[in-house]
Each structure stands twice: as structure tokens, then as C-alpha cells.
Amino acid sequence: MTQLHFWYPLIGVLLLFVVLSSATVRRAPISIAVIYLAIGWGFGWMGWIALDPMQHGRALETLAEIAVIVSLFSAGLKLRKPLRSHLWRLPIVLASASMMITIGLVALYGVAVLTLPIGLAILMGAILAPTDPVLASDVQVSTPGDTDRLRFALTGEAGLNDGTAFPFVLLGLGLLGMQEVSVRTWHWWTLDVLWAIGAGLAAGALIGKAVGRLVVYLRQRHLEAVGYDDFLALGLIATSYGVALALHAYGFLAVFAAGLALRTVERELTGKEAPPDMSRLQGTDEEIASDREHAPAYLAAAVLSFNEQLERLGQLTLVLITGALLSRIQLTWSAVIFALLLFFVIRPLAVGPFALVTGMTLRQGTMVSWFGIRGIGSLYYLFYVLNRGLPEANAAWMLQMVLCVIATSVILHGISVTPLMRRYAKVGEGRQKAERDLEIHRDSGGYDR
């Protein structure tokens, strides 16, 4: 049996396991990512997945990049509220002020306790500051009509901060002499911060809105561009990402903005009320897709459904790889202590006060502080940095620290997400109804105007 023949049944059994165990995992107090991590570690330990972070760094960076942009597009599609809504205040603050505070506190710990040079300390903070859009699906918005503050905040934060962390990655590389950037010039502020963030968001929003309106128009008026929603999703992701990179802007933000713009088209054409479940409508897919009333909602639902399938594949692949990489490194107590400090001290300090100030309850503020899940976004930045020539000694240390934080996050958040979210949903049923009533009042001419 050749090595290729060995992998066919192994991958097949793994995929079948995911399908057959999905209902059991949903009921169990553990996330599927914990199981993937354990399987990946076992595969690495047995030598079935033998990856060298340096030799295979480019391929691993590309895999993580694809997984992140697919998930960011999905995150944008899930958020249906207009930007003027009060629900957007906390995600924007979390992706800007809270993220910068996190980077600052991590860098301070790196310099004061770990005796790192300032550039390496900032680089570590920038790699580990973004929350993850791939592994956080259990705490994200679940339906277009979901306006729960906790889930909306975590979804919006994960969608935005993978892009807003990029300037600080470049800053850390610059301070290490690996990138042409200096905080004493206007280059970093104007190009890497203002231009790259603004142009990325604008490019994605314009492309997403233009494509969304064009496809809906063609379907409603001419019965054209029907079907191939998978091609539409991939085309929109690739176009917005590629255009942003061509403009020297952040493609992560462009992809998120494209998904958000496509959902905005649906909301503008359908109305404020969340659309019904498309699977419950009578008629063929082609009839619903071209229906004047339901075409926009069908488009958004079909694209999101396809993207979520890609997300699952990306999560499986990258968490397995993370587990395999963990089996090849030596974890230290300093890495474990830092991971616990990040989740139990730094994240609450950077997030908690903003959550309470923006109107969250103490319970919501505590949970948004806890669910700062780290994962594939940090893995992408790790390999991005390693592939830009980080010295070998620093690279080995950074690999150890980042993988330890990701593994700790997968385990701690994976075993706590189901019981905490179930209790949150049970306690919050009455509160959510009151918040929905308040949201209707605000959007009908209340506080946001």
C-alpha cells in the first residue's frame, strides 16, 4: 500500500467521524475543535503528519490565510444590523481600543518579565491580540435575526480585528529591522494604518454591494445568474481580497466588508425584519432565487450556507495541523503561564470596562471578556512572520508561545463554551425579548438617529 492509499481511508474515516459524531458533540460539554486538536496531536506523535514549520511555512501560511478569509466573509454575512445601530459600538471598540491595549499589555509583559526586545514583544502582542473567526462559531451570531449583544459583539470583533492587527505586525517587524517602517515617520501612520484599513474596508464594501445588487437585479428581472452560489461566494471573496492587496490595503478587512455589504443589500431590499428560513419556502431553488420578494434573502442564505461548509473544512484542517505541530515542540511553564495570564488577566482588563460602558450587563461583560478565542488568525500571523525571516532562535520561541496559547484557548474555551452558552441562553430569554423590543424602538427613530 502506497502512502497515498494509506491517506484515502484515513481521511475518509475522519470525515465520516465528524458527520456521525456531530449530534453527540453538540450535546456534550466540549467543542469539536478539542477533538480535532487531540487527533492532530496523535497523528503528529505517530509521525502520520510530519510538518516542519520552516520547510513548510509558506504552504501553512497559505492554508491559514484561506481559512481566515473564508471565515471573515461568513462573519460579515451574519451581521444584519446597520452600522448606525448601537450594537456596532462594542465590536468597533473591541477591534481598536481593546486590541491596542492587549498588544500593549502583552508587550509590557514581554519586555518586563520575559526580557524581550521591544520589537519582538510588540510582534508577540500583535500575533496574539486578534480573536478568531474560525473557532468562535459557537459564540457567534447564529441567524440573521439574532441581535444578542454578546454574540453580535464577538462576531463583529472577530471580523474586524484580524485586519486591524496587521499594522502592529508590520510595526513589530520594522522595529526588528525586518520591514521598512518607522514610527517616527508618517509612512506607518498614513499607509499602514489609515490607508490600508480605510481602503480595505471601502474596497470590500463597494465590491460586495455592487455584485450583490447586480446579481439580484439579473435574477429578478431576467432570470439570469441563477445557481452557482458557490462560485459567487468564491468569486466575491477572491475579488475583494485581490483588489485590496493590489491597493496595498488589508484584504482581511476587505473580505469582511464584502460579506457585510452583501448582507446590507439583502436588508435594504428585504426590509428591517429578518427574512424567513429559505428552506421552508415552497417552490424550486430556481423559483425562489428569482422571486421578487425572496431573491435577496435567498442569495445571502445560499452564499452563507456554502461558506459555512468551507469553514468547517478549514477548521478541521488547521486544528489538525496545530495539534500535529504541538507534538513536535517542547512546551515550557513560561508559555503556559503566559497563556493563562492572557486569558484570565489581560483580556478582561482590555475588554471588561468597555463592555460595561457600552451598556452590557455584568454577565455579558464577563462572558465577552472570557471568550477571547485565539486560533487560526494567530496561526496565520505566526507563519507570516516566520516566512519574513525571523531569526531562528526567535522563531522557535515564537512558535512555542503561539501554539501554546492556541492550544490553551482550544481546550479552555472548548470545554466551557457549551455549558456557559446554554446557561446564558436560559437565563437571558426574558432579557433578549426586552432587548429586541428596545432595538425595534431605536431603529424606528429612537436613540441611533
The secondary structure of 211-256 as a DSSP string is HHHHHHHHHHHHS-S-S-HHHHHHHHHHHHHHHHHHTTS-HHHHHH
**Burial of 45 per CB tally in 10 Å (0-12, 13-18, 19+):** middle
Q: How many CA atoms lie less than 13 Å away from 444 in the CB half-sphere?
A: 7
Closest to 155 in 3D by CA, of 144, 166, 165: 144
What is the pLDDT at residue 232? 93
Distance CA 152, CA 435 (A): 13
What is the pLDDT at residue 181? 54
What is the pLDDT at residue 430? 44
Closest to 264 in 3D by CA, of 225, 303, 208: 208
CA 10 from chain centre, in angstroms, equals: 28
| Joined grid coordinates for residue 252 | 482581511
DSSP at 283: S
Q: How far apart are the first and last CA of the chain?
A: 68
What is the pLDDT at residue 432? 54
Distance CA 247, CA 396 (A): 33
What is the pLDDT at residue 436? 52
Task: Assign a CATH topology to domain 31-419.
Answer: Na+/H+ antiporter like fold (1.20.1530)
- Cβ neighbours, 10 Å, residue 403: 23
Distance CA 179, CA 123 (A): 12
Distance CA 263, CA 79 (A): 7
**Burial of 140 per CB tally in 10 Å (0-12, 13-18, 19+):** buried
What is the pLDDT at residue 444? 43
What is the pLDDT at residue 442? 43
Of how many residues is the chain composed?
Answer: 449
DSSP at 274: P
What is the pLDDT at residue 188? 84
Indicate the helix (H) or strand (E) that contains 42: helix 32-45
Distance CA 235, CA 237 (A): 5
Indicate the helix (H) or strand (E) that contains 11: helix 3-27
DSSP at 346: I
Residues (pLDDT < 50) of the chain are: 1-2, 430, 434, 437-449
Ranges of each domain in the chain: 31-419
| Joined grid coordinates for residue 262 | 452583501
CA distances from 210 to 206, 259, 296, 301, 435 (A): 6, 12, 13, 18, 33
What is the pLDDT at residue 3? 57
**Burial of 437 per CB tally in 10 Å (0-12, 13-18, 19+):** exposed
Task: Print burial letters for 98-116: b (CB count within 10 Å at least 16), e (below 16).
Answer: bbbbbbbbbbebbeeeeeb
- Using alpha carbons only, give the angle 386, 391, 397 rounded to the nearest 5 degrees: 75
Distance CA 87, CA 360 (A): 10
Closest to 130 in 3D by CA, of 380, 305, 332: 380
